[in-house]
Amino acid sequence: MPVHRPGPVRPRRVLLAGLLLAALSLVLAVPASAADIPARGSARMGMGVAAHDGSGGTPSSADATQTEGVDVSGHQGNVAWSTLWSSGVRWAYTKATEGTYYTNPYFTQQYNGSYNVGMIRGAYHFATPDTTSGATQANYFVDHGGGWSRDGKTLPGVLDIEWNPYGAACYGKSASGMVSWIADFLNTYRARTGRDAVIYTATSWWSDCTGNYGGFASSNPLWIARYASTAGTLPAGWGYYTMWQYTSSGPTVGDHDKFNGALDRVQALANG
């Protein structure tokens, strides 16, 4: 009885299989994060919070001793300020600058629009410590919307210092190097405006990237970032927060905040 023997494997099939495996290995070798790096200038306050610290809810109830606020950037475009005012928002911060290469194209509508409906408002700078010095960025910020005036409606500028969306989380700096960069920014801002800037950060980033340095707490108000029902543990030195960004998924504008005090305390910070 004849026995059926399989024929030889065709060389073409072997070649195709090899090519497919090689292509697949190249795809897998490309870091997934490479495609996730945003365009320079698109960073905004809190964009790394949920990814690094998670999101665990919102404050359980309204607190009469706290005042609702929002923070916005070019990401939001033109903002419906009258809607926010009607919902109880009484203060706002607008992104003015990033590094020394970006100014928010919606800054005028956002900064002046919040003021025009009656809000107390201020500006913030997204720091990129790997691009230029702290002093250089503080000057750029003041020169492009980050100044301060004693008009009772303008809050001091904010240094937004958090995870690097474009690369290494701590911008390639040691803890001491980061502290020096921040001090350079803060000292320059004070020299230019007469006000101590607010520091916006997350406790986990601050701990990792500054060694949980506590030396700024006596002068610079803290704006803590944590998407949870409480603000949680604060960075070293600060016994309380002045502001708390508690969600990135609020109504009208995603980023909503609490000021740790009634409206008269917001006014007191504005007046210096």
Per the residue annotation, which of 53, 68, 98, 162 is the catalytic one?
A: 162
| 71 classed as catalytic | yes
Residues 174-183: contacts with CB under 8 Å, at least 24 apart: 175/209, 175/210, 175/211, 175/213, 176/211, 178/129, 178/209, 178/210, 179/210, 179/211, 179/213, 179/215, 180/134, 181/129, 181/133, 181/134, 182/129, 182/134, 182/210, 182/216, 183/134, 183/216
**Amino acid occupying residue 133:** S
Residue written as tokens 């701990």?
Answer: 207
| 160 classed as catalytic | yes
Per the residue annotation, which of 53, 98, 160, 196 is the catalytic one?
A: 160
Residue written as tokens 């500006």?
Answer: 123
Q: Nearest CA to 228 among 242, 211, 248?
A: 248
| 196 classed as catalytic | no
The residues annotated with a catalytic role in the active site are 71, 160, 162
